[in-house]
Amino acid sequence: MKHLIYVVFLVMALTSCKKAGVEDYFYPNEPEAHIQETVRYSVTIDSNDMDPDKDLQTVFYEKAGAECFGLAARKVMRLQPFLRGSYARYEDYYQDIYNFSGEVAPGNVRQSDNLVQDFSCTLSLQPYYSLAGEIISLEEERTIGAGNDKVTIIFFDLFPAELPAYFMIGSRVEKNNQNLISIYGSGKITQVLADISNHDAHLMDGVLAQGVILETNHEVRSKDLIFLVSMDVEVTQQEAQEITSHEGTSFTDEVWVRPEVRKTDSGPQEMK
| Span 69-110, pLDDT tens digits | 999 999 999 999 999 999 998 877 666 678 899 999 999 887
Q: What percent of the chain has pLDDT over 70?
A: 72
Measured CA to CA, the distance from residue 38 to residue 36 in angstroms comes to 7
Q: So what's the pLDDT on residue 52?
A: 84
Q: So what's the pLDDT on residue 61?
A: 92
Residue 102 inside a domain? The answer is: yes
| Span 231-269, pLDDT tens digits | 999 999 765 444 444 444 444 443 444 444 454 444 555
Residue 10 inside a domain? The answer is: no
CA dihedral 85, 180, 99, 121 (to 10 degrees): 160
| Span 137-167, pLDDT tens digits | 997 766 566 667 899 999 999 888 888 899 9
pLDDT at 173 over 80: yes
Measured CA to CA, the distance from residue 230 to residue 122 in angstroms comes to 8
Residue 5 inside a domain? The answer is: no
Residue 266 inside a domain? The answer is: no
Q: pTM of the entire structure?
A: 0.78
Report yes or no: 223 and 144 within 8 Å, Cβ to Cβ: no
Per-residue b or e along 86-100, where b marks 16 or more CB atoms closer than 10 Å to that residue's CB: bebebeebeebbbeb
Q: What percent of the chain has pLDDT over 90?
A: 52
Local structure of residue 31 (DSSP, 8 states)? P
- How many domains does the structure of the chain reveal? 1
Report yes or no: 194 and 100 within 8 Å, Cβ to Cβ: no
- Could you give the C-alpha distances from 172 to 26, 50, 139, 233, in angstroms and in order? 11, 43, 21, 31
pLDDT band (50, 70, 90) for residue 47? confident
Residue 4 inside a domain? The answer is: no
pLDDT at 170 over 70: yes
Measured CA to CA, the distance from residue 243 to residue 65 in angstroms comes to 22
Q: Which amino acid is at 99?
A: N
pLDDT at 10 over 70: no
Q: So what's the pLDDT on residue 7?
A: 31
Range of the domain at 97: 23-258
